[in-house]
Amino acid sequence: MLLDYHMHLENGDFFRDWALRFWETAQKQGIAEIGFSEHVYRFTEAAQIVDNPWARERCTEDLEEYVQLILDLKAEGFPVKLGIEVDYFPGKEGIIEKIIKNYPFDYVLGSVHWLGDWGFDIPEFAAEWERRDLWQVYTQYFKLIEQAATSGLFHSLSHPDVIKVFGHAPTESLTDLYGQTLEAIAGVKGLCIEVSTAGLRKPVGRMYPEPEFLRLAKAQGVPVTLASDAHYPEDVGKDYQQAVLMLNEAGYQSITRFSGGQGEQVPLG
């Protein structure tokens, strides 16, 4: 069974026909079920979570409208799930919890895109990389992933090594850093990491996460979800053959399917 649990409607807004184009591509790709996971910073109800000038300019949408669209598609019988992608910030746990408990999400993705006010994966902020110590950046990033994991707020951690997005990486070995992070993740029952093909479409040109990270995750017993992070219908399920191959090489034979906040393992493929 193939699933795609990470896609965004932001380039066409919350219209039924636009959402169904994502499902049409999924069918062509042999994907049995999709999940929409719009960015939390888009919604006025969640404005306090990502509170910086970049996010404020984009915080214009109604969360109720998004939720209702997906619930309506469900009611029509389409195999879609209601998700949301939430940026994790230490100290915002209470605000995040209040938002996600107000809606019937099938799953909540936890992400780290910000180190303080630096959106490290946003092109207009890319020059900041040249002023940063790479080891410190990676250490800070993975520490936040650990905190996101142990917060208990999320069902899956999306693109877990997205910090590499522009191809910057320290010369030091990341094995111990990976291991420490995965130990924290493994300590939260049922918490998944996402295997995402989106990195193949980014400057780094690599899957999220690295094969070593995925092998260590398997050794720790960490379950996985599968995703394309599609922002356009044509990217749904893109490069899934590579993702399935990497999962198989790491020893995974199943992926996690979510419904009503509960996960179950289903055979991969």
How far CA 50 is from CA of 40, 210, 220, in Å, comes to: 8, 27, 31
Rg (CA), the chain: 17
**Mean predicted lDDT score pLDDT of the chain:** 98
Domain 3-267 is classified in which CATH homologous superfamily? Metal-dependent hydrolases (3.20.20.140)
What is the rounded CA–CA span in Å between residue 196 and residue 160? 9
Measured CA to CA, the distance from residue 45 to residue 99 in angstroms comes to 8
- How much is the pTM? 0.97
State the DSSP H helix or E strand holding residue 141, giving kind and residue range, or none if neither. helix 134-150
State how far the Cα of 81 lies from the Cα of 259, in Å rounded to an integer. Answer: 7
- The confidence band for 269, taking pLDDT boundaries of 50, 70 and 90, is confident
Whether residue 90 has pLDDT greater than 80: yes
pLDDT of 83 over the 80 cut: yes
Give per-residue pLDDT as tens, 152-210. 999 999 999 999 999 999 999 999 999 999 999 999 999 999 999 999 999 999 999 99
Give exposure, 1-23, as e/b (b: 16+ Cβ within 10 Å): ebbbbbbbbeeeebeeeebebbb
Which pair of structure tokens corresponds to residue 229? 């992070």
pLDDT of 103: 97
The per-residue pLDDT for range 8-29, each reduced to its tens digit, is: 999 998 999 999 999 999 999 9
